[in-house]
Structure 1
Amino acid sequence: MASHGKAALVIVDLQNDFCPPNGALAVEGGRDIAPAINKLLDLPFALKIATRDFHPRDHISFASQHAEKQPFTSSHTITSPKNPQETQETTLWPDHCVQDTPGCQLIPELATSKVDLVVDKGQDKCVESYSAFGPPFRNPRVAMSGLEDTLRKAGIKHVFVCGLAWDFCVKATAIDAAEEGFTTYALNDACRGIDSSAEGLAATRKEMEKHGVRVIGLESEELDMVRAS
């Protein structure tokens, strides 16, 4: 790793609202991955980033903003505000990670003192952003978080992704990182998914790998290279 470029750790959305017991959109076992992620934070990554959903109260992904729609079972088609040819079908969710609420904060079990930077996403009420890089609308780009610029300015070549949720924001972030040209690894031992079935986990892995993401575990040799950097 040291001879091929710097590595970054991206911890996706390890927030109160995504964790039991009281999270508005709790992922089963979400809080349990904090110890593994804290061990990752002890490794000599060149850049350690945590991301947060950081939604306004009237965010388009909230079922409460759509008449007669229900969280989890209803969906909505979002059109790019800058290009009507680009659309995104999204599941509607309970209100979650609202700016300046306790649910928006990173969980206290996370060793935030070891995090170099927190990147907020989903701040534009008109678009959904599962990826920490920004919404899927790229022609032109809309409401990007600045993560790509941050990584490039730091000289990052390798991106390791962990956090919540495996099948939504982790997947989208890892795929975007790979498509932006970073060598990307998804740390499946340090993630949890909304769909935790074997079939669901495998389907997410297959989709990430199709886009060039390398799915690895906490004992993989790629992390040995980070330790040696």
Structure 2
Amino acid sequence: MSFKPALIVVDVQEDFCPPKGALAVGGGRDIVPAINKLLAMPFTLKVATKDFHPQNHVSFASNHAAPNNKPFESIVTIKNPLNPNETQKTKLWPDHCVQGTKGAELLPELDVSKVDRIVEKGKDSRVEMYSAFADPFQNPCVANSGLAEMLRGVGITDVYVVGLAADYCIKHTALHAQKEGFKTWVVGEATRAVDPSSMEEVHKEYAKVGVTVVGMDHVVVQKVKGQ
């Protein structure tokens, strides 16, 4: 099969970046030059994703009663709205990336002119959705972005994942891409983590399923240039 790579730029949005982001990741803006270099390469498809939450989203601490409503600390159990026997635990966050707000916008320094498609995720208020593909519920899935079908539609073989945050939406998007059958690469310099100390565990999860973390100078990145 011929090599057809896609670049997925995950959630490079104002609310995930200093100085004013509601859920700012340290160094979040610093990865944009690396991402723009990748966007200038001849990927078959370049996709940017956006967290795009309604104000009543289940992950917002503000939508839960005290005392179990502390951002970054409280854990709640979410039931699958289509199957209450299936549950997921999720951490609560400050309100972020609310539809129609400045915080939901992609960074102005990101070269969006090179992006082919924008995928909005997290739009269903009832479920958390770290992965750009779908929420974590299986029986049945509640919210599917259509990203897998989009990639298959143009014959993508390899997926390169960059953006924010390395230990949440990057991790879940990369694991999901591999599960969907795409050879998946995470370009390390073009990501930042909420909790950098968690990345050793993230890399162990990657190793179990075949996701590979690479650098900008790695041969598989240079391979995109050489198409």
TM-score with structure 1 length normalisation? Answer: 0.96
Matched ranges for 1:18-37 at <5 A:
18-37=16-35
- Which residue number corresponds to residue 49 of structure 2? 51
Q: Using the aligned pairs only, state the percent identity.
A: 56
2 CA distance for matches of 1:10 and 1:77? 29
- Which residue number corresponds to residue 14 of structure 2? 16
Shift of 1:109: 1.0
**Structure 1 regions of 5+ residues with no counterpart?**
none
- Which residue number corresponds to residue 81 of structure 2? 81
**Structure 2 regions of 5+ residues with no counterpart?**
none
Say whether the 8 Å CA contact 1:5–1:155 is kept in structure 2: no
2 CA distance for matches of 1:205 and 1:87? 26
Shift of 1:212: 1.8
Name the amino acid aligned to 2:208. Answer: K
1:60 aligned to which of 45, 58, 62:
58
TM-score with structure 2 length normalisation? Answer: 0.97
Shift of 1:6: 0.8
Deviates more, 1:55-64 or 1:73-82: 73-82
Say whether the 8 Å CA contact 1:74–1:92 is kept in structure 2: yes
Q: Is 1:130 matched up with 2:157?
A: no
Name the amino acid aligned to 2:218. Answer: S
2 CA distance for matches of 1:183 and 1:93? 31
Shift of 1:209: 2.0
Deviates more, 1:201-210 or 1:4-13: 201-210
2 CA distance for matches of 1:84 and 1:46? 40
Shift of 1:98: 0.1
2 CA distance for matches of 1:50 and 1:186? 15
Name the amino acid aligned to 1:7. Answer: P
Q: Is 1:195 matched up with 2:223?
A: no
What is the aligned residue count? 225
Q: Is 1:221 matched up with 2:219?
A: yes
